[in-house]
Amino acid sequence: MLGAIIGDIVGSRFEWNNHRSKDFELLTYKCFPTDDSIMSLAVAKALLECKSDYSDLSKKTIKYMQEIGRK
């Protein structure tokens, strides 16, 4: 999950301007977390706080996606 978030932030500056080369700085002032990063954190929080049988996982996921996503 950490790798996905880092990849999302690194690639954020190319979201609307594709870049095919592998030669670029990983993190610059143009990088930013996107909604994908925020939703990944919401899913992680839901996984950590749901019941051990995951019976409330979807309820917790929706709750945290709305709660964290609105900020």
Of all residues in the chain, what percent are helix, strand and coil, respectively (each to 5)?
60, 0, 40
Q: Which two tokens stand for residue 62?
A: 């929706």
Share of the chain above pLDDT 70, in %: 100
**What's the whole-model pTM score?**
0.80
Average pLDDT over residues 26-33: 93
Residues 21, 60: Cα–Cα separation, whole Å: 39
pLDDT given for residue 40 in this prediction: 95
Residue 21: pLDDT band (50, 70, 90) is confident
Average pLDDT over residues 58-65: 97
Q: Examine the pLDDT at 36 and tell me if it is beyond 90.
A: yes
pLDDT given for residue 1 in this prediction: 87
